[in-house]
Structure 1
């Protein structure tokens, strides 16, 4: 019997040692896996409704497009204004030249071909005066033609300037309308203006634009490098890379299959506030400060990167409303108190 008990104790110790080693190995595996392996995604709807997200998308998209048209019109107006100033200077010069011709004709009488040729004293003088007559006629004709062309160009430039003023008034009206649309949509989830957040720089490298300054139309065509494992647009990838280059390297997830909004289209990313991924609790302390800086960075670089709106910690930023309060339903995911949501144009 004593020998049997000894064998049992040895077997028990061996089993305990085996279990301890297994637990240690499992723990090391989880540690090396990092937050990407264990971090869950936020709620698929992330608060709000499909209608709200569609309204916010339309209001932000309309604002960005109208703002681009307005900026283009202002650039054209500036160029036309400079052109008109140059034309005014040329008109003064040409008018003075034509005035000299008129004054000379008044003083000595109108020079005609007959009068010049009759005054010739010899065949050589006749040929010389004939040549002079041709040169003077060409010179005076060119001055008058240049003057008339400059007047016509100045008139057309003034008409173009008037057209640009009307275009700007039109786009300002569109901007005002899109702002009202955004405010109407936000009224369902917002109780008023928000205070915004501190930190964040404005140093992102601009995303590529069309020659006229507008944003290229993009599809979900490049690989999503985040654990979401799907596709995103090239502009979304650029934003993600710029955010990481700025130091925002905690867990992030972009593409999401199913549902609505920008995630399935590859036009949105969720940046976790916590170092370990998406936690079902509101961020505090250093995690909250990290989210504050990231949200402000996104707002400051929105025009460079093509960002439509940013949602973080019960606030939403849109280019036509600024920071507004936001209530998505009460949970950390819906209220965006555990992650920063960035939607792209």
Structure 2
């Protein structure tokens, strides 16, 4: 096991050495968990965007259909009036004039009627076109939603298949309804997560982490989870070397070689509940704690890491970020 100094983040800022846990797991498993979680989150963001857009388009469609109905009624009134008048021709109306002044007045009236009828017909045509465009756009969003739902379903299957070797299936998980809400991390205007690199100093090691990982860790601290934390790891695979994962020790003194129990177990439960509850706000990919894993596509699944406290994640909570 590689040893290095890490910082124990406590309210008073005191530091303490800790050993980096050997978490186990294969590179293939971690790679699949990362890929499927990202794909699920991306599809979910696109689904939410499409649903929001569909609602706006549906309102536009309803307005357009209402306009079509009103204008159709107006055109029908004009047509009925024209029929009742016997469709008097322009020449006939002018020939029946009794004076030059009457001739001019009738001529102007006929012109106004023609303009009015033309406008109504034009308005009706445009309203029908707008309703048709809105309907096509709504149908497009429905297809997009079906597509993203299918993506999410497939990634769920992929994640479950990858977890099959270390999981016995669904589990109860860790949920605390009173877990505090975190301040959301910045998103792109379309709701997606911006790409980030390992670009800021990791306060727990001499390495680096992403701004989103730093934000998530600081939000955990603000919620009162101030025990030993270790994030960046120089070698291996998974999110640690990318600065997109942190391990939260359950024990006050750091990572231990025993399974957490009592108050330490309760602390780990609380940390896990916090990051799962705030996964969408913070950009969490997955969380592993006490022989269980939470993944956005699969929910809670059992997890076996070989029996050791580090491998089974019974001495620390692992949080991976988008």
TM-score normalised to structure 2 length? 0.91
Name the counterpart of 1:22: none
CA distance in 2, matches of 1:118, 1:223: 93
User: Which of these residues, 182, 190, 199, is aligned with residue 221 of structure 1?
Assistant: 199
What's the CA shift for 1:34?
8.3
What's the CA shift for 1:122?
3.0
User: Which of these residues, 278, 293, 308, is aligned with residue 270 of structure 2?
Assistant: 293
- Secondary structure of the residue aligned to 2:16 is helix
CA distance in 2, matches of 1:325, 1:218: 30
What's the CA shift for 1:116?
3.2
Name the counterpart of 1:53: 30
Cα deviations across residues 110-161 of structure 1 (Å, max 9, x unaligned)?
2433233333333333333333222222211111111111111211222222
User: Which of these residues, 98, 119, 133, is aligned with residue 110 of structure 2?
Assistant: 133
* Aligned partners of 2:202 and 2:208 also within 8 Å: yes
- Secondary structure of the residue aligned to 1:37 is coil
Q: How does 1:280-319 map to 2 (within 5 A)?
A: 280-319=257-296
Q: Could you list the runs of 5+ residues in structure 1 that have no partner in the other structure? A: 1-32
Number of positions where the alignment pairs a residue of Structure 1 with one of Structure 2? 310
What's the CA shift for 1:276?
1.3
User: Which of these residues, 157, 170, 185, is aligned with residue 180 of structure 1?
Assistant: 157
Name the counterpart of 1:100: 77
Name the counterpart of 2:17: 38
The question of 1:258 aligning with 2:229 is answered no
Change in 2 beyond 3 A, CA 1:251/1:132: same
Change in 2 beyond 3 A, CA 1:131/1:279: same
Change in 2 beyond 3 A, CA 1:55/1:305: same
- Secondary structure of the residue aligned to 1:310 is strand
* Aligned partners of 2:180 and 2:223 also within 8 Å: no
What's the CA shift for 1:245?
1.2
More helix by share: 1
Q: For structure 1, which segment, 217-226 or 332-341, has the greater mean C-alpha deviation from structure 2 after superposition? A: 217-226
User: Which of these residues, 81, 85, 94, is aligned with residue 62 of structure 2?
Assistant: 85
Q: How does 1:320-331 map to 2 (within 5 A)?
A: 320-331=297-308
* Aligned partners of 1:34 and 1:276 also within 8 Å: no
What's the CA shift for 1:230?
1.7
CA distance in 1, matches of 2:203, 2:303: 29
What's the CA shift for 1:202?
5.0
Name the counterpart of 2:179: 201
User: Which of these residues, 119, 131, 134, is aligned with residue 96 of structure 2?
Assistant: 119
CA distance in 1, matches of 2:102, 2:207: 91
Q: How does 1:150-169 map to 2 (within 5 A)?
A: 150-169=127-146
TM-score normalised to structure 1 length? 0.86
CA distance in 2, matches of 1:276, 1:115: 104
CA distance in 2, matches of 1:48, 1:261: 9
Cα deviations across residues 278-316 of structure 1 (Å, max 9, x unaligned)?
112211111110100110111111111110100001110
Q: Could you list the runs of 5+ residues in structure 2 that have no partner in the other structure? A: 1-11
- Secondary structure of the residue aligned to 2:293 is strand
